[in-house]
């Protein structure tokens, strides 16, 4: 029996019974709410819930994979994990790290929290002022970067360069298309899609955007609210990932560059020049953006999760509750990241996608289908017709607070999501990568917002539930939106359970991917990250999240992470310029989609079955 199988057996003997017992208690709390408080205290129930999710997902992550027994992974598997004994891992940890990337990130986060403790108001004031200034003054840059990204992705999808095969004509993909889509989608979207699904359209319904000429909370405001939700989470958002991922993938697989975010500079520095200070600066900035973005998300998700449970069950977890939540979540994504893409990351992503589809199907089954279909169809049409005007519309503070903020947030996540897309793309044509990472992911996201957003607008507009009042009672917390919505629908307890499960699995799938990506960026060139380095970066992300909860400054750190979106918005334009020049010089002779159709026309016209009948 292999070592991986032995570990899976030992883990199963502990984790499976733990998951079964804790799961029974958690389900009792969901379907028999009086059980909480009468039999089990709220704090104990939350702890047991964390044990349930941690043990279940943890066991899924450590189950052995066929590659463990074979002793090798496919040649195309880039995001490898080096597994060594504990003593060897600790002894050689620093020797395998790129200290120029590791040290600045650790120092910057330590300095941030020291200043946050000593001068919280001053730090928040300075960061807030800088953020407002950049989002207002730099708004045109973000809008231009996103619009260019969409146009470029559409050109790659239809144009001749989309036919370039990453890795060469003889290389086969490592993953099936469904697996490729699942990994990309679940890593790039995080738990925000769960919270904002029922909430964003409601905010725009309550306060219509300036572009939408409608009275607040009117029937006319519904269409504009759904249209803007699609705009903020659709093609524009996902294109920000692709314009970082495609250049990295091309230069890694077709030009021999290292798997680094700084590889987007290869057209200007050369592959051999990617050890320069500029490259190190880009990778260090990427590490800071990834940790800041993920750690802040983990902290905010923990608070939102507990806010939701407090609203629904009256459970108060105190200051220790969010810390326990972060600890359980950190355990899950560390186990998943250490197990690698083929095991934990792929499996938890699959579970997340199944829950995502099941939840959406249930909402369609028990929700206002006619309303969602009619309003959703209108919103899709409005999104298509107004896409260009919305993309260049920059008028007033609302756009800076919503649209520009969203674009900056997506670009701040682009380093890790783009690099992950690149690592999975070997053997795929660029056209396929763009279709999966932009078109397919946008379709899934927009369907979710139409279903959840349309349902929440229906219950709010018809008076079946006052979701806006519930959010207002909790400081306009988007985390609360789902609970009054589900109470107004059949199968409410099941929907709530799946909703909270999705929060955990979505956050785990983003955090485990980001942990593996950061460990890869911080490892010395040519070395795969060790299990110790992955655990180090995972624990660092969890520690930053805990520090945010204990010290404060979640909004400030989130603003700092979002600010990194500015440089990457500019770098995305630089990357596209370099990629275009390289394609023009070295990748001539490919055929566009229209060319493929035109080339097939003679075959279609001369097909025997299509010949005209002989009238003689």
DSSP line for 264-311:
GGHHHH-GGGTTSHHHHHHHHHHHHHHHHHHHHHHHHHHHHHHHHHHH
Q: What are phi and psi of 429, to 5 degrees?
A: -80, 150
Domain-embedded: residue 63: no
Which stretches of the chain drop beneath a pLDDT of 70?
Answer: 1-12, 33-43, 65-95, 308, 311-319, 474-477, 552-554, 602-616
> Rounded to the nearest 10 degrees, what angle do helices 277-313 and 492-522 cross at?
160
Domain-embedded: residue 614: no
Domain-embedded: residue 64: no
Residue-number span of the structural domain to which 558 is assigned: 73-592
Kindly tell me the burial class for residue 493, based on how many C-beta atoms sit within 10 Å of its own C-beta (0-12, 13-18, 19 or more): middle
* pLDDT given for residue 543 in this prediction: 86
Cα–Cα distances (Å) from 452 to 197, 207, 404, in that order, read 5, 19, 24
SS3 262: helix
Domain-embedded: residue 24: no
Domain-embedded: residue 115: yes
Structural domain tally of the chain? 1
Between CA 566 and CA 327, with CA 298 as vertex, the angle to 5 degrees is 145
* pLDDT given for residue 77 in this prediction: 45
Domain-embedded: residue 12: no
- Residue 26 CA to its chain's centroid (Å): 27
480-505 per-position pLDDT tens digit? 788 889 888 998 888 888 888 888 88
Cβ atoms within 10 Å, residue 117: 14
Domain-embedded: residue 56: no
Question: How does DSSP classify residue 465?
Answer: -
CATH of the domain at 215: 1.10.4160
Question: Quick one: CA dihedral 177, 179, 180, 181, positive or negative?
Answer: positive
Q: What are phi and psi of 76, to 5 degrees?
A: -80, 0
* pLDDT given for residue 476 in this prediction: 58
* pLDDT given for residue 435 in this prediction: 96
Domain-embedded: residue 36: no
Cα–Cα distances (Å) from 44 to 51, 263, 381, in that order, read 10, 48, 49
Question: How does DSSP classify residue 601?
Answer: H
Question: How does DSSP classify residue 612?
Answer: P
Question: Quick one: CA dihedral 369, 372, 378, 383, positive or negative?
Answer: negative
Joined together, the tokens standing for residue 532 give 């110790």
204-261 per-position pLDDT tens digit? 999 999 998 889 999 999 999 999 999 999 999 999 999 999 999 999 999 989 989 9
């Amino acid at each position: 029996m292999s070592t991986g199988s032995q570990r899976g057996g030992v883990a199963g003997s502990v984790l499976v019974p733990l998951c079964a017992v804790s799961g029974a208690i958690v389900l009792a709390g969901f379907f028999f709410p009086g059980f909480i408080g009468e039999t089990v205290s709220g704090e104990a129930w939350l702890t047991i819930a964390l044990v349930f999710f941690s043990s279940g997902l943890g066991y899924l992550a450590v189950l052995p994979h066929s590659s463990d027994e074979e002793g090798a992974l496919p040649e195309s598997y880039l995001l490898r994990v080096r597994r060594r004994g504990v003593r060897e891992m600790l002894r050689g940890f620093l020797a395998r790290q790129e200290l120029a990337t590791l040290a600045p990130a650790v120092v910057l986060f330590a300095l941030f929290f020291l200043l946050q403790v000593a001068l919280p108001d001053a730090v928040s004031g300075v960061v807030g002022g800088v953020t407002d200034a950049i989002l207002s003054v730099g708004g045109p840059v973000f809008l231009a970067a996103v619009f260019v990204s969409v146009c470029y992705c559409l050109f790659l999808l239809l144009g001749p360069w989309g036919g370039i095969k990453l890795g060469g004509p003889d290389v086969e993909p490592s993953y099936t298309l469904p697996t490729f889509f699942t990994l990309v989608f679940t890593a790039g979207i995080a738990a925000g899609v769960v919270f904002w699904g029922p909430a964003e359209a409601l905010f725009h319904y309550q306060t219509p955007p300036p572009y939408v000429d409608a009275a607040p909370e009117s029937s006319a405001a519904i269409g504009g609210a759904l249209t803007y939700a699609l705009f903020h989470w659709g093609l524009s958002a996902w294109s920000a990932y692709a314009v970082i991922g495609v250049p990295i993938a091309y230069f890694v697989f077709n030009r021999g560059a290292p798997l680094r975010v700084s590889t987007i500079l290869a057209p200007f520095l050369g592959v051999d020049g990617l050890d320069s200070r500029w490259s190190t600066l880009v990778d260090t900035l990427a590490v800071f953006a990834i940790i800041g973005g993920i750690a802040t998300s983990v902290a905010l998700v923990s608070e939102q999760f507990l806010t939701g449970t407090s609203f629904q069950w009256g459970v108060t977890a105190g200051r220790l509750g969010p810390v326990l939540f972060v600890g359980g979540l950190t355990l899950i994504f560390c186990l998943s990241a250490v197990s690698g893409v083929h095991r934990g990351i792929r499996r938890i992503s699959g579970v997340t996608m199944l829950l995502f589809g099941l939840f959406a199907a249930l909402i369609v089954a028990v929700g206002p289908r006619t309303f969602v279909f009619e309003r959703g169809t209108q919103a899709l049409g409005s999104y298509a017709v107004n896409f260009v005007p919305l993309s260049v519309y920059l008028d007033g503070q609302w756009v800076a607070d919503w649209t520009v903020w969203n674009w900056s947030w997506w670009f701040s996540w682009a380093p890790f999501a783009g690099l992950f897309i690149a690592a999975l793309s070997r053997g795929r044509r660029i056209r396929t990568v763009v279709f999966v990472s932009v078109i397919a992911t946008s379709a899934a996201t927009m369907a979710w917002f139409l279903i959840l957003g349309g349902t929440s607008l229906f219950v709010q507009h018809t008076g079946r539930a006052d979701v806006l009042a519930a959010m207002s009672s909790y400081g306009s917390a988007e985390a609360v939106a789902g609970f009054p919505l589900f109470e107004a629908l059949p199968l409410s307890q099941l929907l709530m359970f799946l909703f909270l499960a999705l929060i955990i699995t979505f956050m785990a799938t983003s955090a485990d991917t980001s942990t593996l990506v950061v460990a890869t960026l911080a490892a010395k060139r040519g070395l795969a990250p060790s299990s110790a380095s992955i655990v180090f970066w995972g624990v660092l992300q969890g520690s930053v999240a805990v520090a945010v909860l204990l010290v404060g400054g979640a909004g400030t750190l989130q603003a700092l992470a979002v600010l990194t979106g500015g440089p990457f918005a500019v770098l995305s334009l630089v990357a596209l310029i370099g990629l275009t020049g390289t394609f023009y010089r070295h990748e001539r002779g490919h055929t566009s989609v229209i060319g493929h159709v035109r080339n097939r026309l003679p075959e279609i016209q001369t097909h025997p079955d299509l010949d005209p009948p002989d009238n003689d």
